[in-house]
Amino acid sequence: MIGRDLLGIEDLERSDIERILETAERMQEIGERQVKKVPTLRGRTIVNLFFEPSTRTRASFEIAGKRLSADVVNFSPGASSLSKAESILDTALTLDAMDPDVVIVRHKVAGVPKRLADSLRAPVVNAGDGAHEHPTQALLDMLTVKQEKGRIDGLTVTIIGDIAHSRVARSNIYGFSKMGAEVRVVGPPPMLPADVESLGVKAYISLREALEGADVVMALRIQLERVQGALFPSIREYAATFGLDRAKLRYAKDDAIVMHPGPVNRGVELSHDLADHRPSVILDQVRNGVALRMAVLYLIAGLAPGEESAP
Ligand code: ASP
């Protein structure tokens, strides 16, 4: 049981995270079958309510729901009454009245999933809200690290880039810290929130220092849609100083892995070569995202009272 809603990693205990990751590992086997479908959520309805563009997260939730035999409805704001100025809450309440079992919400404003969770009868899963949290991304990242390294506890995780505007960074900071990793963040000073060390991480402005001894290196996308003023002189200068390539990666441990939540700005956050080849594990992250979201949907919508077993 991980509670009714999944709004952020900040709200989870370490034992909740462990339970989700263990359930996801059991779900992975279903994705390897020729017939990738089990009846676990047959008769349940999942609504994908994405007010902000998404490729992998939305498709991942949809595939996850379908592999568990749920009916998945994709709601697209352009084709809806939202274009007739219906409020977000009215839209969500209207969909809620159709008795979905889970509503998955993405919105550019931080706090919208929480606001909807307070009003809807259906449980709400946050699929990314502004620069606040993106819990399933952090969970799939933790799953990927656990599988690559065999553990999370005791590892050093370095997150590079626009920490201030990244919900992925925030959720991963909470998650990896709760799981016992040392988390470091590095980027140009305007991209590092002033109070970031209050989250229990160490902040660096030197990429070399931040990478020394790192087991996991996570590059973040520059959030051009969330950046109001200029945070750095130019993309080219950012790439030269903080863009990861094989030469800079040598500062990390020899067996360090490289992660990115996507979409990658090739040649900016990661060199072309690193974006496509080991030690980067970007497509493993995507693959793990489906199993992880199956686990979340199962834990939220699949357990009727008295039921305890996974498929
Ligand atoms: N896809 C991730 C997100 O929605 C990462 C990114 O867009 O930078 O937050």
Domain boundaries, the chain: 9-133+287-301, 135-281
Where are the alpha helices (H) located in 68-155, listed in sequence order?
A: 88-96, 112-119, 135-149
- For ligand 1, residues with CB inside 6 Å are 128, 134, 137, 167-168, 221, 261-262
Question: Which structure tokens are listed for 78?
Answer: 């352009």
3-class secondary structure, 129: strand
Q: Please give the C-alpha separations between residue 266 and each of 157, 234, 244, 247, 270, in angstroms, as whole numbers.
A: 22, 15, 10, 16, 6
3-class secondary structure, 161: coil
Question: What pLDDT is attached to residue 76?
Answer: 75
Q: For residue 259, what are the β-bridge partners?
A: 218
* Cα atoms in the Cβ-side hemisphere of radius 13 Å centred on 307: 13
Q: For residue 47, what are the β-bridge partners?
A: 73, 103
What are phi and psi for residue 257, nearest 5 degrees? -105, 155
Question: What pLDDT is attached to residue 88?
Answer: 87
In ligand 1, the atom with minimum distance to the C-alpha of 137 is 2
Burial class (CB in 10 A: 0-12, 13-18, 19+), 225: exposed
Check if the beta carbon of residue 278 is closer than 8 Å to that of residue 229: no
* CATH architecture for the domain at 135-281: 3-Layer(aba) Sandwich (3.40)
Tell the CATH topology of 9-133+287-301.
Rossmann fold (3.40.50)
Check if the beta carbon of residue 38 is closer than 8 Å to that of residue 157: no
Query: Distance from the CA of 57 to the center of ligand 1, in angstroms?
Result: 9
Question: What pLDDT is attached to residue 307?
Answer: 60
Dmax over Cα atoms in the chain, in whole Å?
A: 58
Measured in residues, the chain has a length of: 311
9-133+287-301 and 135-281 share one CATH topology? yes
Query: Distance from the CA of 305 to the center of ligand 1, in angstroms?
Result: 35
In ligand 1, the atom with minimum distance to the C-alpha of 168 is 9
Question: What pLDDT is attached to residue 53?
Answer: 83
What are phi and psi for residue 9, nearest 5 degrees? -75, -25
**pTM here?**
0.94
- 10-residue averages of pLDDT along the chain (311 residues): 86 97 97 95 95 91 98 81 74 92 95 95 97 97 98 98 95 98 96 94 98 98 73 83 97 98 95 97 98 97 63 55
Question: What pLDDT is attached to residue 2?
Answer: 63
Question: What pLDDT is attached to residue 82?
Answer: 65
CA dist 118 and 191 (Å) reads 32
Q: Whose CA is closest to atom 4 on ligand 1?
A: 128
User: How many CB atoms are located within 10 Å of the residue 180 CB?
Assistant: 12
Question: Which structure tokens are listed for 265?
Answer: 């700005």
Q: For residue 75, what are the β-bridge partners?
A: 49
Q: Whose CA is closest to atom 2 on ligand 1?
A: 261
